[in-house]
Amino acid sequence: MNTDWYPGIRAFCKHWSHAEMLQHTFATLEQTFSEEQDACIDAAKAIVECVCQVIVANLDDPRNPLKPKEENPSFGRWVSVAVRVLKLSEVRDDAFKKLISQYHKLTTTLGDLRNKAGTMSQGKDGFITKLSIHHRRAAILAADAIVTFLHEAYLEQELDPLLTLEPYDRFEFSNEVIDRYTALQVDEVQEDGFLTITVMLPNGDEIPLSIEPSRLLFGVDRQAYKAALNACQDAELMGTEPLETALEEVS
């Protein structure tokens, strides 16, 4: 077995490398598929559902949410909602709509195969015959086709920075425009240790910000945040006075 069987799934998981549960599920898929276990069918189905949930979480409009309200939405329901938030179902071309419907059928078939053959989906007869390699490959290819279709459509979407779970680095073009036309004016450090700055906009407006040290470190440098946390936890154990208190005494 090799990874050529699921390039679309791999690409999606690489794009969302910071999504911990998705990475756990992907690791399970890789392991069970390479070991020729039927459980890879369960993992493939779980990947598709996870992909749908990630897409819906990033694109769903809170003013008119499409996210399923039921406690345990069906597999097909998640795919249907993902297609809707991607606005793929709004295309007027009848041929493309038929193609969309085929993906729905593929989703349903994959779900049925998972329910009947996946070793982790339901209790199974302990003596049931293992599936052939062709069944497992078919399930993986079906899952990969669905994920590729959804992921490529997602990459073409214009994301809302207020809603997206994408990291800062994914907004390279927007970041460059903001950095080119704005300037930062650093104000005095407040007594509580917060940093106050003013963002100068090209239209003459200003955006005042007050930033806690922890928020600045967490947003800019996670390694620095961890180093600061370790140092502060040690200081707390030793009974060291907070820095702001020490500065007040000096002044």
pLDDT band for 37, please (50, 70, 90 cuts). confident
Reduced to 3 states, what is the DSSP secondary structure of residue 208?
strand
Q: Quick one: average pLDDT of 227-233?
A: 93
Q: What is the pLDDT of residue 27?
A: 95
Residue 141 buriedness (CB in 10 A; 0-12 / 13-18 / 19+): middle
Q: Does residue 127 surpass a pLDDT of 60?
A: no
Q: Supply the mean pLDDT for the chain.
A: 81
Q: pLDDT above 70 covers what percent of the chain?
A: 76
Q: pLDDT above 90 covers what percent of the chain?
A: 34
Reduced to 3 states, what is the DSSP secondary structure of residue 44?
helix
226 or 163: which carries more pLDDT confidence?
Answer: 226
Q: Mean pLDDT highest for which of 132-136, 139-143, 153-157, 162-166?
A: 153-157
pLDDT digits (tens, 9 = 90+) for 41-80: 888 888 988 999 999 999 999 899 999 988 888 877 888 8
Question: Apex CA 63: angle with CA 60 and CA 67, to 5°?
Answer: 35
CA distances from 210 to 2, 26, 46 (A): 51, 40, 42
φ and ψ of 119, to 5 deg: -70, -20
CA distances from 219 to 52, 131, 190, 233 (A): 27, 48, 20, 20
Taking each continuous run of H as one helix and of E as one strand, the counts in the chain are 10, 3
Q: Does residue 211 surpass a pLDDT of 80?
A: yes
Instruction: Tell me the sheet residues that pair with 200.
Output: 183, 206
Q: Does residue 203 surpass a pLDDT of 70?
A: yes
Q: What is the pLDDT of residue 129?
A: 46
- DSSP 8-state secondary structure symbol assigned to residue 171: G
Q: What is the pLDDT of residue 169?
A: 86
Q: What is the pLDDT of residue 199?
A: 93
**Which pair of tokens denotes residue 107?**
């989703």
pLDDT digits (tens, 9 = 90+) for 74-126: 877 888 899 889 988 766 656 655 655 665 666 566 656 656 554 454 444 44
pLDDT band for 26, please (50, 70, 90 cuts). very high
CA dihedral 186, 190, 192, 198 (to 10 degrees): -40
